[in-house]
């Protein structure tokens, strides 16, 4: 079975050529995805729907991982996510915390400044 570090790295890479089904397959059925400025999303099906909606605005996201550490089932990475869409590339500094169990992501929390998204795309363009 791949390590938690390998699972998180593969999930991050999958956003470069995004497919909501492929990305959501990295998550446990009862996973929680929480972009800290927004409300948490519960369950793989809801995560898949969020990803699909997000990708209706953005063509892809490149995750440039600067640092990643793993201990046990916890993986943390500091990265720059480059949002590609609406005719521009927008870099977003992010800190991500992942919990992995039985080969699937059970929790993903991303910490970032929502004001950077609002400045780049306007409040109406930010994903909900």
Q: What is the CATH number of the domain that holds 79?
A: 3.10.450.50
**Contact indicator for 36, 109 with CB cutoff of 8 Å:** yes
- Report yes or no on 90 lying in a domain: yes
Tokens for 37, please give them.
Answer: 């400025």
What was the pLDDT predicted at 63? Answer: 96
In total, how many domains does the chain have? 1
Per-residue confidence of the chain (128 residues) as pLDDT tens digits?
A: 899 999 999 999 999 988 999 999 999 999 999 999 899 999 999 999 999 998 888 888 999 999 999 999 999 999 999 988 878 898 999 999 999 999 999 999 999 998 877 777 765 544 44
Q: Which of 17, 8, 3, 2 shows the shortest CA–CA distance to 108?
A: 8
Strand order through the sheet with 88-101:
41-42, 27-35, 104-111, 88-101, 74-85, 60-71
Task: Show the tokens assigned to 70.
Answer: 């793993």
Catalytic positions: 81, 110
Residue 126: predicted pLDDT: 45
Tell me whether residue 128 is in a domain. no
| Structural domain includes residue 57 | yes
Domain holding 94, by residue range, is 4-123
């Amino acid at each position: 079975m791949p390590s938690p570090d390998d699972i998180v790295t593969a999930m991050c890479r999958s956003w470069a050529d995004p497919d909501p089904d492929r990305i959501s397959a990295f998550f446990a059925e009862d996973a929680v995805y929480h972009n800290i400025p927004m409300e948490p999303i519960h369950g793989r099906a809801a995560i898949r729907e969020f990803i699909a909606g997000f990708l209706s605005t953005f063509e892809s996201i490149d995750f440039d991982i600067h640092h990643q550490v793993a201990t046990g089932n916890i993986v943390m990475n500091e990265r720059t996510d480059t949002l590609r869409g609406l005719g521009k590339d927008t870099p977003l500094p992010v800190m991500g915390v992942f919990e992995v169990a039985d080969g699937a992501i059970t929790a993903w929390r991303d910490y970032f400044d929502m004001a950077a998204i609002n400045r780049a795309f306007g409040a109406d363009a930010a994903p909900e």
